[in-house]
Amino acid sequence: MKYKEWLEIWLNNYVKITCKARTSDIYRYRIEHCIAPHLGEYELRDLTLPTLQQFVANLLFNPSSGKSLSANTVNGVISIVQNSLKIALSLGYVGACDANKICRPRTVEKRVECFSLLEQKQIEMQVKNSKKLKLYGIVICMYTGLRLGELLALEWKNVDLNACQLTVEKTCYYVNGQRVEDSPKTKNSWRVIPFPKQLLPLFQEMYKAHKTEYVVEANGNPVSVHSYQRSFELLLKKLQIPHKGFHSLRHTFATRALECGMDVKTLAEILGHANPTVTLKRYAHSMQEYKIQMMNKLGKLLT
């Protein structure tokens, strides 16, 4: 059996019934664009460790095309190869699972981008002055750490205006142009987030005007991820703030929380991280403004 034939069987019979639609879609894309063009014609029994390792090396840098993939993406591809061949081994299609011995590239933690305090205040002011209720979600994310999918899937039944807290129990994303509402990213993403009482007027104004069950809506319809990202891009462009992805709002929340003295364990729970170590590793180096303030405070001893 050719590897491309087995990958199709593996996707349909194993991945689709155990993974989220988004994960299955990512797997299919990586198979079609990264794996099948290079390994698809191989017979399963001919996929030796040297062959697989050369494949990985070519993904990291292909001299013929001059194109390369990031270490994170390549590691994702390796996981697909390993998991698919592991099932093939259990079924007797291959004699050994050398894929587990593939040497993985070292990943580099992505630099966390967040807005400065001045930029944050400019964004908040612009959102409030715009009077566009849909955009209020931007400020909500900046003070709760919600992911975009979690924000757009948030329903009013998940918001307790009396207790000033919201419950994250699902997220949304798009597969082949279709909106999919699913359980949160991980089991730790199921969480209750207390929100600052200063957000209450925004929630109340949105609630008075709501036409659907969703907190963020536009003309009585749920808002798409792409549409909301575009609205955010236009907002930054209007303010002449350098472009950053929507996820930077979550990073901004985490950075400001640490600067305000929030302990890492509490922040990890609010963000939905598996443990505080993940939080500390990701955000400890992003507090540049706070570091400057503290160093200047220390410098006063010199004068």
**Cα torsion at 66, 29, 96, 46 (round to 10°)?**
-60
- The answer to whether the CB of 271 falls within 8 A of the CB of 260 is no
pTM: 0.77
Average pLDDT rounded to a whole number, residues 170-193:
86
- The answer to whether the CB of 283 falls within 8 A of the CB of 258 is yes
- The answer to whether the CB of 156 falls within 8 A of the CB of 210 is yes
User: Considering only 217-226, 269-278, 279-288, which range has the smallest mean pLDDT?
Assistant: 279-288
Q: What are phi and psi of 242, to 5 degrees?
A: -50, 140
276 burial via Cβ count (<10 Å: 0-12, 13-18, 19+):
middle
| pLDDT band at residue 284 using 50, 70 and 90 as cut-offs | low
pLDDT of the residue at 226: 94
Give me the domains of the chain, ranges plus CATH numbers. 3-101 (1.10.150.130), 117-293 (1.10.443.10)
- Is 70 exceeded by the pLDDT of residue 287? no
Dihedral sign from CA coordinates of 36, 40, 44, 46: negative
- Is 60 exceeded by the pLDDT of residue 64? no
